[in-house]
């Protein structure tokens, strides 16, 4: 197919304001179409023409995809890959795109859930730490997965914790490194040891089954490696002992929450 290049410009209002409009002494013409088909003279009234004629070389960039993917890991991965490509085309860092999108989500959520949002002047913050038995390949991808899992909603809608839901502001998983991190619980009042133990049991169940099961099936958490070299599932010869999976430490960790000063 040959090498290709892409020129990203702001879409002009009309041909007259287009950057590839060539100025001539008698007539202005489209430099792209002129190069391909001989001199292409704009028709009368070209200054008012909208960009997008059938032979116009400009094509609008596709829109980003931001579907509700809380219950669909595959769709979430597709959206993330799609948006990563758009970010690369625009010369932007995907981290900036994620922050930008997160801000939009927060604004939309706050607007749509004004009556349900908990507004407090003071809140209590509890944390417990976790380890992964193997490091993830990409901290950004792993954190994006954890952050988009909406564990707060899962906890607040679990019928076994209905008596605590109105006191829970949020619960989030955060990676501090490729193989470790912490879980942060925010509440509007101080929880008793018994209540915190119930939350710890819920976290253990999520790390072993719900959240953890989905997490360890992602490409960043399941991979083939031997002697520090990453291998290809399909192309390289590998053995069972080469399979690495980043799993939570639910079998040995009680996930005891401590109040943060």
Indicate the pTM of the whole model: 0.56
DSSP string, 187-253: ESSPPPHHHHHHHHHHHHHHHHTHHHHHHHTSTTTEEEEETTEEE-TTTS---GGGEEE--B-TTT-
Please tell me the least confidently modeled range out of 76-85, 185-194, 217-226.
76-85
Dump pLDDT digits (tens) for 103-140. 665 565 555 555 545 555 568 999 999 999 999 998 88
CA count, 13 A, side-chain hemisphere, 9: 12
Specify the pLDDT at position 39: 46
| Among candidate residues 172, 179, 193, 8, the one with its CA nearest the CA of residue 86 | 8
Q: What is the CA radius of gyration of the chain?
A: 26
Dump pLDDT digits (tens) for 1-37. 567 777 777 777 777 677 776 665 555 666 666 544 4
Please check the confidence at residue 48 and state whether its pLDDT lies above 50: no
Please check the confidence at residue 171 and state whether its pLDDT lies above 50: yes
Query: What gap in Å lies between CA 83 and CA 98, rounded to an integer?
Result: 9
Specify the pLDDT at position 129: 97
Tokens of 19: 């950057």
Q: What is the mean pLDDT of residues 204-232?
A: 90
Specify the pLDDT at position 167: 93
Question: Quick one: what percent of the chain has pLDDT higher than 70?
Answer: 69
Specify the pLDDT at position 19: 72
Specify the pLDDT at position 102: 58
Query: What gap in Å lies between CA 229 and CA 236, rounded to an integer?
Result: 11
- For residues 126 and 259, the answer to whether their CB atoms sit within 8 Å is yes
């Amino acid at each position: 197919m040959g090498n290709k290049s892409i020129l990203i410009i702001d879409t002009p209002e009309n041909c007259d304001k287009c950057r590839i409009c060539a100025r001539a002494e008698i007539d202005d013409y489209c430099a792209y179409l002129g190069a391909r088909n001989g001199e292409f003279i704009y028709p009368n009234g070209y200054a008012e023409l909208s960009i997008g004629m059938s032979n116009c070389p400009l094509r609008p960039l596709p829109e980003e995809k931001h579907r509700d993917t809380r219950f669909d890991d595959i769709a979430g991965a597709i959206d993330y890959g799609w948006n990563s490509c758009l970010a690369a085309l625009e010369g932007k860092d995907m981290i900036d795109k994620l922050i930008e999108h997160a801000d939009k989500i927060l604004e939309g959520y706050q607007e749509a859930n004004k009556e349900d949002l908990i507004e407090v002047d003071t809140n209590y913050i509890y944390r417990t730490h976790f380890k992964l038995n193997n490091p993830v390949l990409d901290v950004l991808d792993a954190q994006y997965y954890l952050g988009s899992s909406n564990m707060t909603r899962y906890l607040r809608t679990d019928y076994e914790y209905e008596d605590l839901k109105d006191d829970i502001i949020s619960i989030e998983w955060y990676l501090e490194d490729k193989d470790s991190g912490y879980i942060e619980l925010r509440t509007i009042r101080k929880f008793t040891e018994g209540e915190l133990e119930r939350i710890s049991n819920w976290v253990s169940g999520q790390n072993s089954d719900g959240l953890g099961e989905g997490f360890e099936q992602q490409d960043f958490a399941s991979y083939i490696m031997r002697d520090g070299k990453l291998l290809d599932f399909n192309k390289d010869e590998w053995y069972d002992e080469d399979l690495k999976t980043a799993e939570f430490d639910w079998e040995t960790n009680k996930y005891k929450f401590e109040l943060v000063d």
